[in-house]
């Protein structure tokens, strides 16, 4: 069997290596337009930051061998033709036309099975000056080297266009190199596609500590150069930003030109449509990686979510099917699970956001829960903020977002696993997870979040989010917010609203008669537990208009003040 693979970065080499193990005598050739093969692209921001000292580390195996063309020939028994461009597929003759980029010669090579792993390309908007020296996109090791060289050559002011995963990771690299950084984002918040507004606010607050300048709801309309043709200024619809380095990080689109020219069908996302075995509309042509669309495991709709780990899974499924080793093996779809790092902050998400679920017609419920990732007495305990989204109809978990300095990945993976198998919040609440103080609280954050969500779904508790409180006030609703923290907590930091009163939880029963019954009474504390207890107490004593604010002061993204407050007179409210 003669197998041709177009693309030598993630999906292609994975499929080739797996095929070689299953069918050692197969004739397998990788066609790669670039010079480099099978590198860890997700590691590029860490090379720029200096955490990875040598860029060659991103091309090595676990044994320290560089995965170049010699490695694939000698260790994997594969034919590798790098610096070679695939230009045309003749499906009737089952031939691929290739162009040697060094000799500029063309030839047709036959195949029995063809695998398209052509990847994605950075979106390059038609902005005047985008070709200036100093304007980059981070899409391969060559671009990573250029960005690193620019910093070494003295770049001091950088602009990142795009407030998503690549933008945040590159911003972290720049801060580590003492480069003044501005992020320009067209939407009104960071991570707008994958985080709800309340979780985006947590990330933005964290970045502000590092003095990263955020320009939200802003569009870049041009670049201005200096006399030497280098970058000087970034022109936006809201002003001008000085810069000597720009990273275009607005996203990628699938590289589908070869497939389109061959008449292969594209999906609704614009990526190549494939079945569960990764076959295109031509059964002898497979496709995987960043050039294809997947099915979302929650919505069951086609999505384009390019990820390196997904590309490797695609490669394995393709190889298994071609080799007929595991013919029933199929790729079920994705949740869009991802995690990013900025400084000590981890940002993770999986499934759908509350915003997305609502737009798709779900009757969903969500909860906010900030908590420590270990017992409070443990010295390495750090806070993580969780948002859990569930379907009201069947109580299935359909989304999670986690942000914090604590152990985010552990909880994210637990929730992604639960969603993959269709778990409900009740089932999540009873998971038998590992416990010891160095690793987690006795009741893990994921289980606590599930319990809170169970209470809300079953009307055991009533709650509102900080955003809902803010919106109610914007709409003119008369509210009374009751801060049930201690006096010391109240004095150190409090919510900057005039309709907040302070009644410590231990005094709430005695002072309940002071609370109105003709408008919502919203209790809150630092993170939510005492606010919940206060709400339950008031409701148990007959105050049916009581509810609590999820996340408390910790997740209040609006103005806060410090200092000695004046206690309002409740009789006048």
Question: pLDDT per residue over 336-361, tens digit each?
Answer: 999 999 999 999 999 999 999 999 99
Indicate the SS3 state at residue 307. Answer: coil
Helices (H), 186-307: 197-209, 257-261
Rounded Cα gap, residues 30 and 15, in angstroms = 10
Rounded Cα gap, residues 519 and 536, in angstroms = 17
**Judgement on whether residues 257 and 244 belong to the same structural domain of the protein:** no
Indicate the SS3 state at residue 237. Answer: coil
In the prediction, which pLDDT does 572 show?
A: 39
In the prediction, which pLDDT does 164 show?
A: 95
Q: Does 564 have pLDDT greater than 90?
A: no
**Judgement on whether residues 237 and 273 belong to the same structural domain of the protein:** no
- Range from 46-50, 60-64, 412-416, 501-505 carrying the lowest mean pLDDT: 60-64
The backbone torsions φ and ψ at residue 130, rounded to the nearest 5 degrees and listed phi first, read -70, -15
Q: Does 379 have pLDDT greater than 70?
A: yes
Torsion over CA: 492, 494, 498, 502 (sign) = negative
Both tokens of 82, joined, read 């790098």
| DSSP symbol at 55 | G
| Percent share of the chain, pLDDT over 90 | 86
Confidence label for 210 from pLDDT (cuts 50, 70 and 90): confident
In the prediction, which pLDDT does 209 show?
A: 87
Q: Does 239 have pLDDT greater than 60?
A: yes
- Domain stops at, among 210, 225, 250: 250
In the prediction, which pLDDT does 571 show?
A: 43
DSSP letters of 192-210? TTTS-HHHHHHHHHHHHHT
Confidence label for 78 from pLDDT (cuts 50, 70 and 90): confident
Burial class (CB in 10 A: 0-12, 13-18, 19+), 137: buried
Rounded Cα gap, residues 404 and 390, in angstroms = 21
Please provide the size of the chain in residues: 573
Rounded Cα gap, residues 457 and 202, in angstroms = 25
**Judgement on whether residues 78 and 172 belong to the same structural domain of the protein:** no
Assess if residue 330 is contained within a domain.
no
Q: Does 545 have pLDDT greater than 70?
A: yes
Rounded Cα gap, residues 535 and 253, in angstroms = 49
Assess if residue 127 is contained within a domain.
no
Assess if residue 292 is contained within a domain.
yes
Rounded Cα gap, residues 521 and 68, in angstroms = 66
**Judgement on whether residues 42 and 152 belong to the same structural domain of the protein:** no
Assess if residue 85 is contained within a domain.
yes
**Judgement on whether residues 445 and 470 belong to the same structural domain of the protein:** no
| Percent share of the chain, pLDDT over 70 | 98
What is the average pLDDT value for the chain, to the nearest integer?
Answer: 93
In the prediction, which pLDDT does 573 show?
A: 41
Do the beta carbons of residue 242 and residue 157 sit within 8 Å? yes
**Judgement on whether residues 243 and 276 belong to the same structural domain of the protein:** no
Name the packing angle between helices 165-176 and 197-209 (round to 10°): 10
The predicted model gives 32-60 an average pLDDT of 88
Assess if residue 50 is contained within a domain.
yes
Indicate the SS3 state at residue 99. Answer: strand
Give me the CATH number covering residue 414. 3.50.50.60
The backbone torsions φ and ψ at residue 447, rounded to the nearest 5 degrees and listed phi first, read -70, -40
Give me the CATH number covering residue 468. 3.40.250.10
- Domain stops at, among 250, 268, 285: 250
The predicted model gives 179-208 an average pLDDT of 95
| DSSP symbol at 339 | E
Q: Does 279 have pLDDT greater than 80?
A: yes
Predicted confidence (pLDDT) per residue in 309-320, tens digit: 999 999 999 999
30 versus 565: the higher-pLDDT residue is 30
Strand-pairing partners, residue 148, are none
Assess if residue 111 is contained within a domain.
yes
The predicted model gives 330-335 an average pLDDT of 96
Strand-pairing partners, residue 347, are 340, 403
Assess if residue 389 is contained within a domain.
yes
- Please write down the long-range contacts of 262-268, taking CB distance under 8 Å and 24 or more positions apart: 262/88, 262/89, 262/91, 263/91, 267/293, 267/302, 268/293, 268/302
Q: Does 254 have pLDDT greater than 90?
A: yes
Domain extent for 498: 463-572
Give kind and range of the element (H or E) at residue 90.
strand 84-90
In the prediction, which pLDDT does 562 show?
A: 75
Do the beta carbons of residue 567 and residue 501 sit within 8 Å? yes
Assess if residue 335 is contained within a domain.
no
- Domain stops at, among 216, 250, 284: 250
Q: Per 3-state DSSP, what percentage of the chain is helix, strand, and coil (rounded to 5)?
A: 30, 30, 45
**Judgement on whether residues 552 and 510 belong to the same structural domain of the protein:** yes
The predicted model gives 295-310 an average pLDDT of 97
The predicted model gives 137-158 an average pLDDT of 93
**Judgement on whether residues 541 and 481 belong to the same structural domain of the protein:** yes
Confidence label for 87 from pLDDT (cuts 50, 70 and 90): very high
Predicted confidence (pLDDT) per residue in 484-530, tens digit: 999 999 999 999 888 899 999 999 999 999 999 999 999 999 999 99
Burial class (CB in 10 A: 0-12, 13-18, 19+), 244: buried
Predicted confidence (pLDDT) per residue in 410-422, tens digit: 999 999 999 999 9
**Judgement on whether residues 73 and 154 belong to the same structural domain of the protein:** no
Do the beta carbons of residue 5 and residue 15 sit within 8 Å? yes
Helices (H), 68-140: 69-76
In the prediction, which pLDDT does 567 show?
A: 53
**Judgement on whether residues 441 and 540 belong to the same structural domain of the protein:** no
**Judgement on whether residues 299 and 221 belong to the same structural domain of the protein:** no
Rounded Cα gap, residues 114 and 166, in angstroms = 31
Burial class (CB in 10 A: 0-12, 13-18, 19+), 428: buried
| Overall domain count for the chain | 4
**Judgement on whether residues 541 and 476 belong to the same structural domain of the protein:** yes
Do the beta carbons of residue 61 and residue 40 sit within 8 Å? no
The residues annotated with a catalytic role in the active site are 42
Indicate the SS3 state at residue 373. Answer: coil
């Amino acid at each position: 069997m003669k197998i041709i693979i177009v693309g030598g970065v993630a999906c292609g080499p994975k499929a080739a290596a797996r095929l070689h193990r299953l069918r050692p005598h197969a004739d397998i050739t990788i066609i790669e337009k670039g010079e480099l093969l099978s590198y860890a692209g997700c590691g590029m921001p860490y090379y720029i930051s200096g955490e990875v000292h040598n860029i060659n580390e991103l091309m090595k195996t676990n044994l320290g061998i560089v995965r170049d063309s010699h490695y694939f020939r000698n260790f994997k028994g594969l034919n590798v033709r790098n610096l070679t461009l695939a230009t045309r597929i003749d499906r009737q003759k089952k031939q691929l036309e290739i162009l040697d980029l060094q000799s500029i010669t063309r030839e047709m090579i036959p195949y029995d099975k063809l695998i398209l792993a052509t990847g994605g390309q950075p979106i390059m908007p038609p902005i005047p000056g985008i070709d200036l020296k100093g304007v980059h996109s981070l899409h391969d090791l060559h671009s990573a080297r250029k960005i690193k060289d620019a910093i070494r050559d003295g770049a001091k002011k950088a602009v990142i266009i795009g407030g998503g995963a690549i933008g945040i990771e590159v911003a972290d690299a720049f801060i580590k190199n003492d480069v003044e950084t501005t992020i320009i984002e067209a939407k009104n918040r960071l991570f707008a596609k994958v985080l709800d507004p309340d979780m985006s606010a947590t990330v933005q607050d964290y970045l502000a500590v590092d003095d990263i300048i955020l320009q939200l709801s802003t569009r870049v309309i041009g670049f201005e150069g200096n006399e030497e043709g280098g970058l000087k200024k970034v022109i936006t619809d809201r002003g001008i930003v000085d810069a000597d380095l720009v990273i275009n990080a607005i996203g990628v689109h699938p590289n589908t030109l070869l497939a389109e020219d061959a008449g292969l069908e594209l999906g609704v996302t614009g990526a190549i449509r494939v079945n569960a075995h990764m076959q295109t509309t031509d059964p002898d042509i497979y496709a995987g990686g960043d050039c294809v669309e997947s099915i979302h495991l929650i919505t069951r709709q086609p999505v384009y979510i390019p990820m390196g780990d997904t590309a490797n899974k695609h490669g394995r499924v393709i190889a298994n099917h071609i080799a007929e080793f595991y013919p029933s093996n199929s790729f079920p779809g994705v949740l869009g699970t991802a995690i990013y790092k900025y400084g000590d902050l981890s940002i993770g998400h999986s499934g759908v956001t509350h915003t997305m679920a609502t737009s798709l017609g779900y009757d969903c419920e969500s909860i906010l829960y900030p908590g420590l990732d270990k017992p409070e007495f443990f010295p390495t305990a750090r806070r993580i903020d969780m948002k859990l989204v569930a379907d009201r109809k069947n109580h299935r978990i359909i989304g999670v977002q986690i942000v914090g300095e604590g152990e985010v990945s552990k909880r994210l993976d637990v929730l992604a696993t639960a969603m993959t198998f269709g778990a409900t919040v009740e089932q999540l609440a009873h998971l038998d997870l590992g416990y010891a103080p160095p690793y987690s609280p006795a009741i893990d954050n994921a289980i606590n979040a599930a319990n809170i969500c169970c209470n809300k779904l079953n009307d055991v508790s009533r709650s509102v989010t900080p955003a809902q409180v803010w919106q109610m006030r914007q709409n003119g609703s008369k509210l009374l917010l009751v801060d049930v923290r201690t006096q010391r907590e109240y004095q150190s930091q409090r919510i900057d609203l005039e309709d907040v009163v302070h009644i410590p939880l231990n005094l709430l029963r005695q002072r309940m008669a002071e609370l109105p019954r003709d408008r919502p009474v919203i209790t809150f504390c630092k993170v939510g537990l005492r606010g919940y207890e206060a709400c339950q107490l008031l409701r148990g004593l007959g105050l049916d208009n009581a509810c609590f604010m999820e996340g408390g002061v910790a997740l209040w993204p609006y103005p806060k003040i410090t200092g000695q407050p004046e206690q309002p007179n409740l009789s006048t409210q």
